[in-house]
Structure 1
C-alpha cells in the first residue's frame, strides 16, 4: 500500500495529509505535542510524536514503510533534520521511497523590486531563514540525484485557509491595511498546497515548483475584500514606514516580487482557488473562515 509520511504535520502538512488520504494513501505525520496528535488522528493521519534529534523507534518503523515523504520541518540554524550529523542516510531510513517533497518558500528568491520570477530565476535569499531553506533545498535535490529519485521542492507563497485568513482577522478586529508603495505578495490557499503535492507525487515529478495562485497583489487589497464580504468598515491605511512591526514581519516587506506559477499550470495542475477573491468568497459562504 502506498504510504505517506509527513515530517511536521502542521497547517500545510495536515492539508497535504487530507489530500493524500482522499486519494487512497495511508498517512502518518509527526507532531511535537500529544494534544495536536489527537487533531491529526481525527483527520485520518496517524500521529507520531517527534521533537527533533534522534529518531524514535515508532518513527523508524514508519519511515521503513513509507513510499512517499513530505518534509515540512523548518531547517533552523542546524540545517535540515534529516541531513544533520549522525543521522543515518535517507535511503537507509526509507528504503521503499518512490517520491519525496520538500516544503520551501518563495522567500528564497529574495527581493526583485516587484518583477516577475520563476523557477529558473537566480536565488538571492535575504533573511537567515531563507538562506537556511536554500541549503535544505540543495540537500534534498542532491539526494534525489544521488538516489535517482523524484524529489520535488515546493516553494510556497503566503499560506492562508480555514481559520487563518483575512476574514477571521476582520471578525477579531486584528486586520490592518499596512501600505507600502508598490508592494505585492503572492499567496496560496492551503488546500491547493495539498492538491499540488498530490499532483506532483502521482505524476512522480521532481525538481523545483512554485506553489502560488495566479494573482500577486497588494496586501491591503485582500483586507479590503475581506471587509466588503463581512459587511464591515475597511480599516484605515497604516503607512509601512511608521507601523509598529516585529523584525520578522518587517523583513517580509523587504522582499517585493511577483512569483509565476506557469510551470505548474503547464504541467496540468488546476487550482481550486486561483485568486484571493474567489477563495475569500468561498471561505465566507461556507463558514470555513472560522476554522
Structure 2
C-alpha cells in the first residue's frame, strides 16, 4: 500500500463506517456513497472518477431489484480494480448445526439472491467477506435486553455465529493492506453458540432478569427474526486466520459483551 491510498466504499452503513474509521487510522483516504457518504451514486461522471482514482473498492450494498445495484450500474468500470464485497454467512443455509467453511455450497438457504451476488463478485476476482450476526456499539444484545426486546427461544439445538464489528474491520483491512488472495473469507468469532446463551450472559452482566423461555409462536417474532431461527450452523474462521493473519479481538461473545458495558 502506498502512502495515502484511496479506499472507495459503496454504501457507508454501520459496518462499513467502522471499516472506514479503521482505514483512516492507517492513512487511507476515504470516499463513499450512502446517506452519510460524500459521493452521489447517481452522479455517473463523479462515480467514474472516484472508481478510477481508488486503490481499493469495497461494496456493502445489499441485493435489490433482483440483482446487485453496484455491478448493474458500474460493473464494467470495476474491471482490473482491487475489489471487495461484504456478504453474509446466511448464504450457506441451514446445516443442522454443522460447521461450514468457505468451500461449503451456497445458495441453499433464505439468501439466494445474496448468494448470486456473492458469486458474481467472486467471479470478478473480489475478496468476499462473509459475515454472520454483527454486533457492536449501538447495536448489540445489551441494548435489546435494556429495551425489553430480547428473547429466549426454546430451540435447544439452535446455534449461530456472530462477530464484533471492529473484528470485521480488522479482517477487511488485513486483506486489503496485505493484498491477500482473492476469494471468500468467513469473519466470525471462535465460539458459535445459542442466542439464549448470549442473552443470558448479557442479563448477568447488567443485572437484568432473564426474559421468559418461549416458543417461536409465543415470541411473536417478525418474519426476518423467524427466518434467523430457521437456520442452524457453525461458521469456521480458519481461512481468515491462516491467510490474513487475522485474530479476532473478541473471540467469543463474552469478551464482546464486556467491551460494550
TM range (shorter): over 0.9
Q: Which runs of 5+ in 2 are unaligned?
A: none
**Structure 1 position 100, deviation (Å):** 1.4
Q: 2:190 aligns with which of 204, 209, 214?
A: 214
Q: Deviations over 1:204-247 (max 9, x none)?
A: 12111101000110001111111111111111112224321222
TM-score w.r.t. length of structure 1: 0.83
**Structure 1 position 87, deviation (Å):** 4.4
User: After alignment, is 54-63 or 228-237 more displaced?
Assistant: 54-63
TM-score w.r.t. length of structure 2: 0.92
| Counterparts of residues 129-208 of structure 1 (less than 5 Å) | 130-144=111-125, 151-205=126-180, 206-208=182-184
Contact 1:5-1:68 within 8 A present in 2 as well: yes
User: After alignment, is 176-185 or 63-72 more displaced?
Assistant: 176-185
Q: Deviations over 1:38-90 (max 9, x none)?
A: xxxxxxxxx2233xxx4443323222211101110001233112322x64613
Q: 2:76 aligns with which of 85, 89, 108?
A: 89
Write the distance in 1 (CA, Å) between the matches of 2:172 and 2:227.
28
Q: What stretches of structure 1 move > 6 A for 4+ residues in a row? A: none
Write the distance in 1 (CA, Å) between the matches of 2:214 and 2:75.
50
- Pair 1:277 & 2:257 matched: no
| Counterparts of residues 1-291 of structure 1 (less than 5 Å) | 1-32=4-35, 36-37=36-37, 47-50=38-41, 54-84=42-72, 87=74, 89-91=76-78, 97=81, 99-127=82-110, 130-144=111-125, 151-205=126-180, 206-267=182-243, 268-284=245-261
**Structure 1 position 177, deviation (Å):** 1.5
SS in 2 for 1:69: strand
Q: Which runs of 5+ in 1 are unaligned?
A: 38-46, 145-150, 285-291
Write the distance in 2 (CA, Å) between the matches of 1:237 and 1:274.
27
